[in-house]
A and B are shown apart, each in its own frame.
Chain A
């Protein structure tokens, strides 16, 4: 079925990097942007950036410029989000979301919990 399946939970130390994957199935992977959104516990949603799986073009929220990299491997229909120089306040659930019709986020992954702790 149409879905996005994300990688599992990660625990990282401050200063490290984390790479979260998002595997698409049931639709044409190259036809829709993939966005990344994070949510700290009890907090709201924060958009991090987008990637076009066809071209590889990306756009990042200013807050994450220089720290985030979004890539893809079209052969396995998978998008990746790598966040570097992790801090404790990067602890959050990270979601990938498809940019569907009218660019709304119409399909979401299940979320990947990233915990940053020494």
Chain B
């Protein structure tokens, strides 16, 4: 079973700074890697799918990259509404299942 490890657990940055979040898979199964943002009291929202494709309505400051076992979410210039928890998610081909990382909390410095 694939394990996703996100780092860092907490990232403290200021508005306008660049954020780089990492997600590493214990084994390579697919590039069906997605990123979600979750704010307190809300359901998650998909940002990126297939490692690098922005979901509908997601601002261009969010970008995803990577393949194999190493993936990255980059927020080019942080806005106040970006401070939240971010999860990566991998869809395995066989057996068909999903795994989430443990999350990275992006907090205001």
Interface residues of A (CB under 8 A from B): 35, 37, 44-47, 50, 59, 61-62, 95, 97, 101-106, 108-111
B43 near A109 with CB under 8 A, answer yes
Pair A103/B91 contact, Cβ less than 8 Å = yes
Beyond A105-B46, A108-B43, 15 additional pairs, beta carbon < 8 A: A44-B100, A47-B97, A59-B96, A59-B97, A61-B97, A95-B43, A97-B43, A101-B49, A102-B53, A103-B32, A104-B34, A104-B46, A104-B49, A105-B89, A106-B55
Instruction: Give the distance to chain B from A61, nearest Cβ to Cβ, in Å.
Output: 6
Kindly list chain B residues whose C-beta atoms are within 8 Å of the C-beta of A106.
46, 55-56
Given the interface pairs A45-B44, A47-B97, the reply to whether A104 lies near B55 with Cβ below 8 Å is: yes
B50 sits at the interface (CB 8 A): yes
In the complex, whether B59 has a CB less than 8 A from a CB of chain A is no
* Chain A nearest Cβ from B70, distance in angstroms: 20
Contact with A along B24-67 (1 / 0, CB 8 A): 00000000101010100001111001100101100000000000
B binding-site residues for A, Cβ under 8 Å = 1, 32, 34, 36, 38, 43-46, 49-50, 53, 55-56, 87, 89, 91, 95-103
Complex Cα distance A106/B34, Å? 11
With contacts A104-B55, A105-B44 known, is A50 near B96, CB below 8 A?
Answer: yes
Cβ of A110 and Cβ of B97 under 8 Å apart? no
Assess the A44–B87 pair: CB atoms within 8 A: yes
Q: Are B46 and A47 in contact (CB under 8 A)?
A: no
A selection of 6 A-B contacts at a CB cut-off of 8 Å is A44-B102, A47-B89, A50-B98, A103-B91, A104-B46, A106-B56
Bound-complex Cα distance A105 to B32 (A)? 12
Asked whether, in the complex, the Cβ of A46 is within 8 Å of the Cβ of B100, the reply is yes
Nearest-CB residue, chain A, relative to B34:
A104
Question: What distance in Å separates the Cβ of B11 from its nearest Cβ neighbour in chain A?
Answer: 16
